[in-house]
Structure 1
């Protein structure tokens, strides 16, 4: 196992991708954090982050992996990579909920582009990692659901598990060993924070046929979504807000169409695309319908 994982680490390093050890059988870096730093070794002049300690030095890699069967992490930022992570649906998700691959395909179709051909890794959970070369002079960071639900990215500040690594859920394997493609311009644009509002001022659509409590909740939560401009958080804010209001939909206190209309407008006002909003709203309302107890049981 040590030799197998050592080879995986050296293979990544030979591609110019700095690596770090991960806990055996896990995806977590086996490196100390700042609070536990003793300011010795690499950190003698100050704590070094995992990106600063990632290495392509074969001698250091051999010494490290001789100490244990560590999984292999690739520091995506220093490697000059942006990796798109397409997650599978969870068993608890509503039947028919699109997974990351389906949502990414929809994004490509909306952009009028084919699914890019690039190095592709199958993750232990059955998802996929798509490797891209990050554009020069642009410092992209991690994202979670910014492009679409179950579509995350890893760049500066992140790491991915390299093929050859093994977890209790399975192994990471190469699905397609095509050359690493340049990040498509349309994907770069989607991941680049906008410089200002992309839509006019948000106004809550008229709320009818709703309880007072539900109407107030919808106004408050949709306004919060519209005000969230940072790329890394606006989709998450939309998801959480719809779930909060979704309980009123599930209990019949407000119409589903009214909620969908308000959050669609709020999400687009925050800079999300129409398809992102629709997918997130649908997923959140499905979760609420599945988890909220009927009114007679809620008291």
Structure 2
């Protein structure tokens, strides 16, 4: 006759096991939203030269997101080692979902939802119905899925002010987690949904630009040559996206105004009009907190 696991289950563990049942790999979190288990290497002597960091190869617990698992027995082991855990983190970028988290923050009065809407209008994509998690501070986490083999990097404010991205090597605080600021909860009407595929246009914005080939045409000027070259390499259907991405990076690095004319010239050479190019660059300036 089958037996039932009657070991004590904390609320955090119960929520973590529920997430694991959906194929999501989890780790225990403390009230600070940080991994509840400290690194087992914090007191190890540092050899010279330093080796590559351990990601759990040592067999001990405490390697952050690298401990993440969807196996119930492993999850119970993690939470047994951290009985103080009040929440759980969901690892991004892992199969089967290859989760991508879009974190819409509300700090310092930033309207990140409006920034995402402007991005969607500018680049003609729509966020499909998907899981939405409400944060204690009034923000939202949108759960999306990426294609296998594509590693979306973590970023903070790169896409637009107030928008952080959780990708490979990152994690999202799971619904039901209790932190010192409050409890995370699934938004009404989204708990039954599965994470929706990330729109392809948005996915391109989340990825770093491809490396340019040697021998390609180099525009004049010492600043932003790689960004201008990135725009020059655009094909039909991605010209506006590449221009917007390059303009954002230019403003973030402090030489946006100096690069405007070169970016417009490059965009016009790919087929955009000067008017379209100026509007796209102005949008990038606004989204990075600058005045065009």
TM, length-normalised to structure 1: 0.65
Please name the residue that 1:117 is paired with. 129
Choose from 186, 194, 214 the match for 1:179. Answer: 194
Distance 1:174 1:50 in 2: 24
Please name the residue that 1:14 is paired with. 21
Which deviates the most, 52-61 or 154-163? 52-61
Please name the residue that 1:277 is paired with. 284
Please name the residue that 1:130 is paired with. 142
Distance 1:166 1:46 in 2: 26
Choose from 64, 78, 101 the match for 1:83. Answer: 101
Please name the residue that 2:42 is paired with. 36
2:254 counterpart SS class? helix
Change (3 A) 1:89 1:233: farther
Query: Structure 1 residue 60: deviation in Å?
Result: 2.8
Q: What is the count of residue pairs matched by the alignment? A: 239
Distance 1:185 1:128 in 2: 21
- Within the alignment, does 1:194 sit opposite 2:212 as a pair? no
Query: Structure 1 residue 27: deviation in Å?
Result: 1.2
Deviations, residues 204-259 of structure 1 (Å, cap 9, x unaligned)? 7xxxxxxxxxxxxxxxxxx65665799999957733627xxxxxxxxxxxxxxxxx
Long gaps (5+) in structure 1: 92-97, 205-222, 243-259, 286-299
Please name the residue that 2:161 is paired with. 149
Contact 1:82 1:134 in 2 (8 A): yes
Change (3 A) 1:201 1:44: closer
Distance 1:17 1:126 in 2: 24
Change (3 A) 1:158 1:236: farther
Structure richer in helix, relative to its length: 1
Change (3 A) 1:113 1:6: same
1:186 counterpart SS class? helix
Contact 1:5 1:69 in 2 (8 A): yes
Task: Give the RMSD, CA atoms, in angstroms.
Answer: 3.9
Query: Structure 1 residue 261: deviation in Å?
Result: 4.0
Distance 1:234 1:158 in 2: 26
Choose from 147, 166, 170 the match for 1:158. Answer: 170
Query: Structure 1 residue 58: deviation in Å?
Result: 1.3
TM, length-normalised to structure 2: 0.67
Long gaps (5+) in structure 2: 1-8, 45-52, 231-241, 267-276
- Within the alignment, does 1:26 sit opposite 2:32 as a pair? yes
Deviations, residues 161-209 of structure 1 (Å, cap 9, x unaligned)? 0011122222111012222111111111112222357xx86667xxxxx
